[in-house]
Structure 1
Amino acid sequence: MDFRKTYRKLILLAFILINTTTLFAQATRVTGVVTDGATKNGEPMPFVTVGFANTTVAGPTDNDGRYSLSSSKPYTQIKASFIGYKDIIVNIVPGKSQVVNIRLIPSQSELTEVEIKAGKKPRYRNKGNPAVELIQQVIKHRDLNRPERYNFVEYKEYDKMQFSLANVSTKIGEKKFFRKYKFVLDNRDSTTVPGKSLLPVYLNEKVSEYYYRKDPEKERTKVIGKRTVDYGGALDQEGMGDFFKYMYNKVDIYDNSVNIMTNNFLSPIANGAPFLYKYFISDTVTTETNDKLVELSFTPRNTQDLLFEGKIYVTLDSNYAVQKAQLGINKNINLNFVKSMTVNLDFEKNPDGRYHLSRSNTLADFGLNKKKTGGLFGIRTITYKNYVINKSRLDTTYAVRADEEELSDEISSRNEQFWQQNRLDTLTTAESKVYANIDSLGRMKSFKRTVDIATLLLAGYKTFNGFEIGPSNTFYSFNPVEGLKLRLGGRTTPELSKRYYFETYLAYGFKDEKWKGFLSATYSLSNRTIYKFPQNYIRASFQRDTRIPGALLQFVQQDNFLLSFKRGVNDKYLYNDFYKFEYMHEYESHFSYQMILKKWTQTPAGSLYFINNTGKINDLTTAEATLLLRYAPNEKFFQGKIYRRPIPGPNPIFTLDYTKGFKNIVGGTYDYHNLHGRIDKRTYLSQFGYLDGFVEGGKIFGKVPYPLLTIFRANQSYNYDLYSYNLMNFLEFVSDQYVSVNLDQHFVGFFFNKIPLLKALKLREVASFKAIYGRLSDRNNPSIHPDLYQFPVSGDGKPITYSLGNTPYLEGSVGVENIFKFIRVDAVKRFNYLDNPNVAAFGIRVRAKFDF
């Protein structure tokens, strides 16, 4: 036996085995570009699904058609698929990094040949379509697959929100002005999104524990750690974070609609989805755990509608659960500033065979122009782990602790060890440097100056240590009574104190030569800023300033320069002295009550006067106590350091207030009761957009002069006011009992998107309707009781103030919004009471609104 030959064969065999093992142990990495074979120049195709064949390892191409796949398993094929195109399967070399460019061929070319031969045009139908039959089963079982179906649910959640500058030139750091910021500009990530060089500038992380109990229903989210970049006191990190997360709302595919980018998208498994979507069974997939899935592709019937396109993977067991979803948007939809957006949802199996959401990843590319490569790129990733079902806890587990808010400082200052142990995902190398980089950036004087200037221009405030001066749009204004009016004011910030809050301004009118001013002091009864939900504070204030009767203006910011421009006659003003004491208390249930004590002195100014049968009256003083009740279930807010703005939602808001006027107390001259109620509601109407509306009513009990009656909200500016009557004159109508309705319909481009000439302009339709039905009782009619103040008249003695008769006041408008992406223009029509003096039956009004 030749041992030498045998030895050589063994060596050769070992070498082959070692190299084969090495080959299959190496990662298989495939990158490339997918192009459109139907175009002459091969245009790149976004949102094409590319993955390893017969697996769920897949993802969409980016806006430039690029994709990237990686796996440690020895896959030998990749597959590319897109609705309306033939699926392409390409052989690859396992264990290697390789570039594979793919050219997709439209399936329509094949259908066209069939059409010529058969003389029939293929037509999509719901009836008899197995894809539609499958989606109807998914819809039927939708509620069965929601977490709320369990008696108890708990899990741990890690929420990461990141914003980056996209494709910033690598040479910018070498320029003289930016050289000092080079440490920030060189921190880039080119692996997370294929074809994108991301420069992270914002990062927010939060870890929380979620507990849900079905009966009695109760849920609690316990935040155990949060962390965000800090640009310094000039920028409100918390408010920024809330706004970003409102844009990137949590996506629940089992909801009828998904609110994202401030718009409502109909879910592909909503009740009415089969009437608006087309569905195709595009593949069957076997998972790594041998579960059988159906790959169900869907696309909007009208590509301009606010609908998703993409794929969902449905289990073939009796649950018909969504195991995976890839949601994208068509480039033709009417969405501002968003060049592309994808939402990827992954689900994991529970012990009972059902599925729960394990990861949600939302990516959006922003830019002023969809064709440019720069802009902003935002990614929100939410990871869910430690999922436990049907495990009962003590009642205290589901109750919010009273001291939870007081722990916020500790929660916000967790050390690095905490994040390493509790972060359910990983940070990229670039993300891990963001906190230190932005902290260093915030300490640089040149950057601080830039932020201060930007804050003054955009927000209207200049920040000092614990104090802000502003708002800048009130520094200068004018009106017929005061002439040129200069004003300077400011407010303290939580950097000075969380519990004490002061606000003030001082103003001077050069025509009436009078000083005006405002001062308020607020004390938080809980150890948090007064703007934090739930509020609990007391406030004392004094204000002396002018006011137009019936004008709906903000209490402190009414001296807005743009509101100085008014139409028609505008010379009837009041000087007002307000002494107020307030107590506000909110509850976790979103029920609140507010108690207000007020002394109010009104003195006529301009051509306005108070007169009765005894002659002219210098002023009117009232003493009032008000109780205001409000219930806004599930209301959410943009929460900033020194502001809080409600986010419109589908739940109604109920408000009821009662005011008692006291005679002979602190100078009060009238006894009366005033009861007022209002219901606000936003209604989402699927592809017809949404409707904002409210109904309100009020009644005054007692005999009072006209300044204490309900003076209906009028608007003589050229700004379109959502809550006022835009063609009603100031002081035109008064009442002591009324009901009214206000409707504002936003169609979000539903009609314009179907008109080729208008579609490209991305315009959106709006319509409104407003009506008041009211009356003035005899006891408050000055023509019957001459001891009451007589209604004002014009300079030639004609009346200008009226009570509503048997006919309600009616006003409506149609308009166009999204002009230059933020302007709304309405053509407003007043339908009746056209014989009143100085009335405009028609007008054009403009409103600025930033929206996606």
Structure 2
Amino acid sequence: MKKLFFCFLLLMTIRAMGQTKVGGLVIDESGEPVAFANVLFKGSTEGTITNDNGGFYLESDNNYNVLVISFIGYETKEIELAGKVNYDLKISLLEAAEQLNEVVLISGKQSKKNNPAVDILRKIWAKKRQNGIRKFDQYAFDKYEKVEFDLNTIDSALMKRKIFKGLEFVFQDLDTSRITGKTYLPIFLNETFSKVYGDNVINEEKEEVLGNKNSGFENNQAIIAFVQDLYQSYDIYDNYLKFFDKSFTSPLSRTGIDTYNYALRDSAFIDNKWCYNIVYYPRRKNELTFKGDFWVNDSTWAIKNINLEVTKSANINWVKEIYIEQDFEVVNDSLFLLKRDYMLSDFSFQKKEKSRGVYGKRTTVYDNYEFDKQKPRDFYKKDLNPLDINLIVKDDEFWQKNRLESLNKDEAGIYKLLDTLKTVPKFKSYYNLVSILGSGYVEIDKWNLDIGTIYDFFGYNQAEGPRVRIGARTYRGQNDMWRLEGYAAYGFTDRKMKHGLSGKFLIEPKTRFIISGGNRRDIEQLGVSLTATRDVLGRSVASSSLLTVGANNRLTNINLSALNFEVEPITNFRVSLGGTFRTLSSALPNEFSLDYIDPESPTGISSEIRQFDFNTLLIYTPGKKTIGFGVERRDVNDTYSTLLLNYTKGMEGVLGSDFNYQKLQFSYSQPWQLGGFGRLLSTVELGKTFGEVPLGLLSVVPGNQTFFSNYGTFPNLDFYEFVTDTYASVHLEHNFNGRLFSRIPFLRKLNLREIVGLRGVWGNLSDENIALSTPATINTPLRAPSEKIYYEYSFGVGNIFKIFRLDFNFRGNYLDNPNARPFGVTGTFGFNF
């Protein structure tokens, strides 16, 4: 999803007018910018807060003549507005001897004690679980959502670029953002109407999507998945709000008083309810925080209106602005219900004020609330295919009836604009380029075929030398019921062809009964994962790295055939049954051996393993969200845990199979979002092999001789340094997301992120298995970490130049092993928020 986003943003970088628009800069007497100053239209509750550099932009559909600017410790200033549009204002505030009379305000850094705003905040905490839909046993409501993307900061220089030659008509109608004051051009719109049902007693919720419409990208599942992943739901009463893989401290959080300054600014009647207005802004820079204000009722202590704007110093990449507004409807004396939720994100490669980018805007409107209408528990059983696009794409009559907020002329024009653009060859070329970079495939529509992926075209390993690979797959649409895929590869050193072919077929959509199978003949690096599933076309680590630490010569020739049956009887619970037949041999027999004692061989030793295995695999992923209903689906979140149980039965004699054994493996992976302290990823793996098997069928502790950080491996272990038939391992990796570095002045502006890791493994290897593989020990000593737990720890620095991460890895013990590596540096690069 991230790759698609940055390709989309790169291409985009190469419409109801408001009645009053103002923008400018607020400074103090010395000319320094005043951050977080309050800017309001006089006689209204419409306002904003200056950014870190003192800048502001404010827009209203109403006519106003006076602008009011205030801030704690300064005299309030009123500015007469000369016209409807007033840009480039420069407003100087004078230091105040006394504060406003209406409320008690505290100058400077806000105190946590004797602060009326903090007292109100504590009352909000006490009541927050009694407000809104939480007050009722059951609830239901209509939900309308529109997501829009706009190209922003459009000027004459951009319009005259060669890239837009022949596309000038798209700039005929431009509008100005009421949040940032920048011109923008809508380029994508997606609308969804649904009915939401919930039960607070059994803690269940179900959303039925009744209608969906988007502007020309209905067949691009990758874009739709990216949009859903980008804009997930949140609750402002929660302690932390998650956006773009980051946890921001909510201004209503119980930890808020340690993170924000709060001040009581005003009080007024809103919808006949007396409300207090509280402004907040962060105590420190470079943390994941907001600035803004909210109105709260004085009896229910329910939020009436809130706006949140991410500070520019927040440690987040590629996002220049995030702005959120929520409005709550007063239903009766004690009930405030969410009416409208608006979120704007300004995506850009730079955070400079004039840098171009793409707006992502989501508007969600709620209506027709109903309460205490109980439904049976089975009603909340989730549909395995919740987004069958063919069933929910509706006509204009449906949208005229069910849009809870009308489209303005610019939004409505997107559909017409995209229909026109799709007929322009130049636009189709740009769109195809983004699609290729995002998916890795070159689409050939007339053949229903994709060529790729382009990212697997070139590789290198010690056995093959340089190698090239070209592949293809059938592709009629994102919801295909079947898929065929294959590749061919050639090594320039061994001068051998390799290939892979697979097919998968969705037989029964309701339970997702899938039959799959295929064959691969290639060179592979075994032992890079303890509990990896056997993917017929999996990309081998053997050909993914040009440089390695030490001699990477322990490579295996593999000829794998597989047939598999999979079903999903319960949402996110998959059961898989299948069989595999493998032939294994060393790809470099003079340097690496898989030999084992074979009494039936004329020499008493065999160098090739022929093995048929029967596999049973159970995978449970609670909380996982997907889209699509074809044979392949896409994940749209990464917050779910994964529990895997794998049973393998080796069957001697079947198809000439050599060994009879059993293997039982379990793994549990869990991401932990620890609020403002970052994200912890944990994995536990257990396994045992019953029976005597040679080296090629044992469980190898996954080493890593590449220079790339790879979670789940031990970067200071060589391949095959430890081999086991019984093992237990733990991997822990915590990303503090810059929380520690933000407190160090000379590091603060670099927005670096600190990562710590700890991993360990214990394993055992029976004497019988060691004896069986005695011939292989000539160049591959068989040892297991049975004396004590082998462990490593690491310290990493991420977000270097926004794309690089370096990990410094330390080996904790077993330093007397031959060629043991006590220290190593690995790294990765990529686009991360």
Relative to the length of structure 1, the TM-score reads: 0.86
Letter in 1 for 2:763: G
Please name the residue that 1:441 is paired with: 421
Residue 192 to residue 279, structure 1, CA distance change in 2 (3 Å): closer
Distance 1:69 1:594 in 2: 58
2:239 to 256, 260, 267: 256
What is the CA distance between 1:505 and its match in structure 2? 0.5
**Separation in 2 of the partners of 1:363 and 1:217?**
30
Alpha-carbon deviations, 1:298-318, whole Å to 9, x = none?
Answer: 22221321122211211111x
Whether the aligned pair in 2 keeps the contact of 1:476 and 1:559 (CA below 8 Å) is: no
1:550 aligns with 2:511: no
* Deviation (angstroms), 1:447: 2.6
Q: Does 1:578 align with 2:564?
A: no
Shift of 1:435: 1.8
2:435 counterpart of 1:452: no
Query: How much is the aligned-residue C-alpha RMSD, in angstroms?
Result: 3.1
Equivalences, count: 793
Are residue 511 (structure 1) and residue 513 (structure 2) matched?
no
1:283 matched to 2:266: yes
* SS of aligned partner of 1:599: strand
Corresponding residue for residue 479 of structure 1: 461
* Pair 315,231 (structure 1): closer, same or farther in 2 beyond 3 Å: closer
- Residue equivalent to 2:722: 733
Distance in 1 between residues matched to 2:107 and 2:202, nearest whole Å? 56
SS of the equivalent of 2:275 reads strand
Amino acid at match of 2:364: I
Which of 200, 218, 221 is residue 214 of structure 1 equivalent to? 200
Q: Cα deviation per residue 1:663-690 (whole Å; 9 max; x = unaligned)?
A: 2222222222211111211122222211
Q: Give the whole-Å Cα distance in 2 for the aligned partners of 1:83 and 1:265.
A: 25
1:590-616 per-position Cα deviation (integer Å, ceiling 9, x unaligned): 222222211122122202223344533
Matched-pair identity in %: 27
**Equivalents in 2 of 1:210, 1:835: separation in Å?**
62
Residue by residue over 1:59-113, the C-alpha shift from the partner in whole angstroms, topping out at 9 and shown as x without a partner, is 55689522122337xx7765444566554455779xx84749876666866599x
Residue 38 of structure 1 aligns with an amino acid whose one-letter code is: D
Aligned counterpart, 1:608 = 592
- Asked if structure 1 preserves the Cα contact closer than 8 Å seen for 2:72 and 2:107, the reply is no
Q: Does 1:694 align with 2:683?
A: yes
Structure 1: runs of 5+ lacking an equivalent = 1-26, 113-119, 529-533
TM-score, structure 2 as length reference = 0.88
CA distance in 1, matches of 2:538, 2:565: 19
How far did residue 821 of structure 1 move? 0.8
Question: Distance in 1 between the 2:654 and 2:365 partners?
Answer: 61
Deviation at 1:463, TM superposition (A): 1.0
Give me the whole-angstrom Cα distance separating, in 1, the residues matched to 2:733 and 2:804: 16
1:793 aligns with one of 755, 770, 778: 778
Instruction: Report whether the alignment pairs 1:184 with 2:170.
Output: yes
Measured after TM superposition, the shift of residue 124 of structure 1 is 3.8
Instruction: Give the corresponding residue for 2:211.
Output: 225
Give the letter for the 2:708 counterpart.
Answer: N
Asked whether 1:758 is paired with 2:747, we answer yes
**Distance change >3 Å, CA 765–CA 129, structure 1 → 2:** same
1:371-386 superposed matches below 5 A: 371-373=352-354, 374-386=356-368
**Secondary structure at the residue paired with 2:656?**
coil
SS state at 1:334 partner: coil
Correspondence for 1:154: 140
**CA deviation digits over 1:438-479, x for unaligned, max 9?**
232223333333333444445432111221111123222222
Relative distance call for 1:727 and 1:272 in structure 2 (3 A) is: same
**Structure 2: distance between partners of 1:304 and 1:122:** 20
Q: How does 1:43-122 map to 2 (within 5 A)?
A: 49-53=38-42, 55-59=44-48, 64-71=55-62, 78-82=67-71, 86-89=75-78, 97=84, 99=86, 110=97
Q: Which amino acid aligns with 1:814?
A: F
1:686-835 correspondence runs (5 A): 686-782=675-771, 787-788=772-773, 790-794=775-779, 799-835=780-816
What SS does the corresponding residue of 1:420 show, helix, strand or coil?
Answer: helix
* 1:464 alignment partner, one of 434, 437, 444: 444
Is 514-523 or 166-175 further displaced after alignment?
166-175
Out of 512, 518, 525, the residue aligned to residue 541 of structure 1 is 518
SS of residue paired to 1:128: coil
Q: Answer yes or no: is 1:196 the counterpart of 2:182.
A: yes
Pair 1:665-2:657 in alignment: no
Distance 2:312 2:479 in 1: 48
In 2, are the aligned partners of 1:183 and 1:437 still within 8 Å (CA)? no
Q: Which structure's relative contact order is higher, taking Cα pairs within 8 Å and 6+ residues apart? A: 2
Determine if contact 1:488/1:505 at 8 Å carries over to the other structure.
yes
* 1:286-305 deviation per Cα after TM superposition (whole angstroms, max 9, x unaligned): 11x31011112222221321
**Structure 1's 198 and 46: CA in aligned 2 closer, same or farther, altered over 3 A?**
farther
The range that moved more, 156-165 or 579-588, is: 579-588
Alignment-mate amino acid for residue 338 of structure 2: L
Residues 299 and 308 of structure 1 are in contact (CA less than 8 Å); yes or no, is this contact kept in structure 2?
yes
What is the distance in 2 between the residues matched to 1:775 and 1:203? 57
What residue identity is the alignment partner of 1:848?
F
Matched, 1:348 2:334: no
Instruction: Answer whether contact 2:385 2:628 (CA < 8 A) is retained.
Output: no
Conserved 8 A contact 2:240-2:676: no
- The DSSP-based 3-state class of the residue aligned with 1:579 is strand
Q: 1:240 aligns with which of 210, 223, 226?
A: 223
Paired letter, 1:567: V
How far is the alpha carbon of 1:56 from its aligned partner? Answer: 3.3
Q: Provide closer, same or farther for how the CA distance between residues 39 and 387 of structure 1 changes in structure 2, counting only shifts above 3 A.
A: farther
Q: What is the aligned partner in structure 1 of residue 369 from structure 2?
A: 387
1:105–1:654 CA distance, 2 compared to 1 (3 A): farther
Q: Distance in 2 between matches of 1:573 and 1:218?
A: 50
- Alpha-carbon separation, structure 2, partners of 1:421 and 1:255: 34
Q: Is the 8 A contact 2:132 2:338 kept in 1?
A: no
Segment of structure 1 superposing worse, 275-284 or 204-213: 275-284
Q: Offset at 1:246?
A: 2.6
| 8 Å Cα contact 1:55-1:286 kept in structure 2 | no
Asked if structure 1 preserves the Cα contact closer than 8 Å seen for 2:678 and 2:735, the reply is: yes
Highest CA radius of gyration, 1 or 2?
A: 1
1: distance between equivalents of 2:619 and 2:95? 58
1:746 and 1:767 in contact (8 A); partners too = yes
- 1:328 lines up with 2:302 in the alignment: no
What amino acid does structure 1 have at the position aligned with 2:318?
F
**Structure 2 counterpart SS, 1:647:** coil
Q: Secondary structure at the match of 1:203?
A: strand
> Matched residues in 1 for 2:806 and 2:587: separation?
33
- Secondary structure of 1:666's match? helix
Q: Please, which runs of 5 or more residues in structure 2 have no aligned partner?
A: 1-16, 100-105
**8 A contact 1:622–1:668 mirrored in 2:** yes
C-alpha displacement of 1:34: 4.2
The 3 A distance-change label for structure 1 pair 396 and 643 is closer
Q: Distance in 1 between matches of 2:407 and 2:479?
A: 34
Q: Is the 8 A contact 2:387 2:627 kept in 1?
A: no
Any idea what SS the aligned residue of 2:432 has? helix
Which one-letter code corresponds to 1:265 in the other structure? Answer: F
Partner amino acid for 1:518?
G
Q: Which residue of the partner structure matches residue 17 of structure 1?
A: none
